[in-house]
Structure 1
Amino acid sequence: MASVYLKISILITCLIFATAFQLLLPVSEAYYSRSLKVGYYRSKCRTAESIVKSTVRSYVKRNPGLGAGLIRMHFHDCFVRGCDASVLLDPTQANPQPEKLAIPNFPSLRGFEVIDAAKAKLEKKCKGVVSCADILALAARDASYILGNISYKIPTGRLDGRVSNSTEALLNLPPPFFNLTQLVASFARKGLSAAEMVTLSGAHSIGRSHCSSFTSRLYPTIDPTMNQTFGASLRKRCPQNTTNDGVVPQDFVTPDKLDVQYYKNVESLTALFFSDWALLTSGETNKQVETYTKEPEKFKQDFINAMVKMGSIEVLTGSPGEVRGTCRFVN
């Protein structure tokens, strides 16, 4: 009997020691071991998704451009270190050049205030539970619904990263002057197909672009791959030799709607970027562009599938991930 009591005593001691050890670990190691699934927060923070949705709606209804910004921000986040909210981190003395200050992101990336507002509400409701990476993924989903009536369920359970480097953004984000071969390779490195690249390019149906992203197609002569009348109109909006880097809609026809007008613009050579025109340089991608112009519902379904897949790129579900208290700084 004494030996039984001894064994029980040893077991209890081990359990106490293990618990104490867990408490000494960083939060991400001691508690946050997750798996991505739809409805991850149902039992942990029941109103999490509705809080994000209402926040996004309030901002985007006032300024539709913020919806485009949120979708773009999610893409720019996932293509650098995976979908870990590293794009949200502010510069600090220890890290003066995070992703958000990289040329592809600054000063064009926007929507940070929407994520901040949603995070503040969630911290009041469920402190330390909902990650910034999940907020960003949900915000992009909700913006897609508001601007394009594209509704889908997205798995959650991501953790936030602790590293953000502007150089990595330059190396991983495809620039607007890429040709088709370069675009396909860039997306392939993230596990996305050429078809998914064409689908995700449909987000160019919304938002704005700085003139500097496409003026190489306007000067000294208008690029023959661009509609000449369209190019002439862009020259008026984006004059040469000016210090002001103006902005124009990426889609002049339905600038605040996530729809297939983008693909019609590609076909008519009235899309802004060389990378847009590049979709016409392969029979396969050209055919996909043509299909979307005629079958908008197919585009919507493909966009849903591509966004869900993109949102799963290299996600953190354990160490060294964390749930940040504020999205702009690591804990």
Structure 2
Amino acid sequence: MFSTNNTYYHSLVATILLVLTFVFPSEGQLSASFYSSTCSNVSSIVRDSVQQALTSDSRIAASLIRLHFHDCFVDGCDGSILLDVDGNITESEKNAAPNENSVRGFDVVDSIKSTIEASCPAVVSCADILALAAEASVSLSGGPSWNVLLGRKDGLTANQAGANTSIPSPFQSLANITSKFSDVGLDTTDLVALSGAHTFGRAQCQFFSQRLLNFNGTGSPDPTLNTTYLGTLQQNCPQNGNGATLNNLDPSTPDTFDNKYFTNLLINQGLLQTDQELFSTDGSSTISIVNNFANNQSAFFEAFAQSMINMGNISPLTGTQGQIRTDCKKVNGS
């Protein structure tokens, strides 16, 4: 009965839907151009701030990307990791086991936020600053660039218990880590690619010392550790030594974002247990991905950029949800 006007009808519906899309944009949609009319220089402000921080702290790039990672894995990318105990925030994620005396870079985030507030007051979220700072940290260290999707709002709560359970631990098995990635919608390629962020930065002895002497109660070191590398690590991290002593995650190019992390895995020089397991777990689907990234840096860079976008899309607050914090450390009005 409607066949004679079917084409016209579908065309009309499509036009109406297109108009509605512009009038009422999807709340769940992040966009690379989100601040183009409200804070067009936000990316350059963040990049300049990260570059300045790098002049006095070679570790800060790795620290800033880790902040974004640890934020997104707990209730999505909402800036909750930045909240101090204050007002209704009775427990901070900063004090969760994976973060306490380990995550850093909060002062740089506060500095970036102050500069942005002076230029574009109450416009840019702290969650978006973390995403932009992560991209700047990677590209300024020799890694890939990507168009950061923006438009996140900041959360009103922190989740210390969630941080204790959701953030992948360097002591867990590959199966457990894979499950934690799957829980937030990330697949095995994302897991391997994002692990490649360990191509720069440092790790404390306490996060891998279990591999050096009495691995899994065997009375021997982790058999997947290169013996020469093992000797070096035992010197850096002696039994009953200082567990906070820092070690390069990549012994060859510790401050450069490249694919050396993966070539290290091929010769059993992954620092953390969770690093080496990507290559040394028999039958794992991660082995072929490690081989690909070790042999093709461009493939790694492309996958890493996409996986960072995927991670940045974990449950963002958008539209009328959340708020734009004027101080990243506390909820507005607290």
The TM-score with structure 2 as length reference comes to: 0.86
- Show the counterpart of 1:236: 235
Question: In structure 1, the residue corresponding to 2:40 is in which secondary structure?
Answer: coil
2:205/2:243 contact within 8 Å kept:
no
Offset of residue 36 of structure 1: 1.1
Offset of residue 169 of structure 1: 0.5
2:64/2:133 contact within 8 Å kept:
yes
Instruction: In structure 1, give the amino acid aligned to 2:329.
Output: R
1:78/1:84 contact within 8 Å kept:
yes
Offset of residue 319 of structure 1: 4.0
Q: Which runs of 5+ in 1 are unaligned?
A: 1-32
Question: In structure 2, the residue corresponding to 1:80 is in which secondary structure?
Answer: coil
- Show the counterpart of 2:256: 257
- Determine which of 46, 50, 58 is the counterpart of 2:40: 46
Aligned residue runs from structure 1 range 305-324, under 5 A: 305-324=306-325
Which stretch of the first structure deviates more once superposed, 48-57 or 133-142? 48-57
- Show the counterpart of 2:115: 121
- Aligned counterparts of 2:191 and 2:206: Cα–Cα separation in 1: 23
- Aligned counterparts of 1:146 and 1:64: Cα–Cα separation in 2: 11
The TM-score with structure 1 as length reference comes to: 0.87
1:222/1:228 contact within 8 Å kept:
no
Aligned residue runs from structure 1 range 28-39, under 5 A: 35-39=29-33
- Show the counterpart of 1:5: none
- Aligned counterparts of 1:40 and 1:256: Cα–Cα separation in 2: 31
1:159/1:321 contact within 8 Å kept:
yes
Instruction: In structure 2, give the amino acid aligned to 1:212.
Output: Q
Which stretch of the first structure deviates more once superposed, 78-87 or 161-170? 161-170
- Show the counterpart of 1:29: none
Aligned residue runs from structure 1 range 1-331, under 5 A: 35-92=29-86, 94-220=88-214, 221-280=220-279, 281=281, 282-331=283-332
Offset of residue 83 of structure 1: 0.4
- Aligned counterparts of 1:96 and 1:219: Cα–Cα separation in 2: 39
- Aligned counterparts of 2:229 and 2:300: Cα–Cα separation in 1: 25
Percent of aligned pairs sharing the same letter: 39
- Aligned counterparts of 1:77 and 1:156: Cα–Cα separation in 2: 15
Question: In structure 2, the residue corresponding to 1:73 is in which secondary structure?
Answer: helix
Q: Which runs of 5+ in 2 are unaligned?
A: 1-26, 215-219
1:172/1:186 contact within 8 Å kept:
yes
Are residues 95 and 243 of structure 1, via their aligned partners in 2, closer, same or farther at CA, if it must alter by over 3 Å? farther
Question: In structure 1, the residue corresponding to 2:203 is in which secondary structure?
Answer: strand
Offset of residue 247 of structure 1: 1.2
Question: In structure 2, the residue corresponding to 1:203 is in which secondary structure?
Answer: helix
- Aligned counterparts of 2:89 and 2:37: Cα–Cα separation in 1: 36
What CA deviation, in whole Å up to 9, does each residue of 1:130-189 have, x standing for no partner? 000001100000111011231110110000001112211011011012222112111000
Offset of residue 240 of structure 1: 1.2
- Aligned counterparts of 2:111 and 2:143: Cα–Cα separation in 1: 23
What CA deviation, in whole Å up to 9, does each residue of 1:275-320 have, x standing for no partner? 1121122342111111111110010000010001100100000344
Question: In structure 1, the residue corresponding to 2:257 is in which secondary structure?
Answer: coil
What CA deviation, in whole Å up to 9, does each residue of 1:82-101 have, x standing for no partner? 00000011123643431111
Offset of residue 245 of structure 1: 2.3
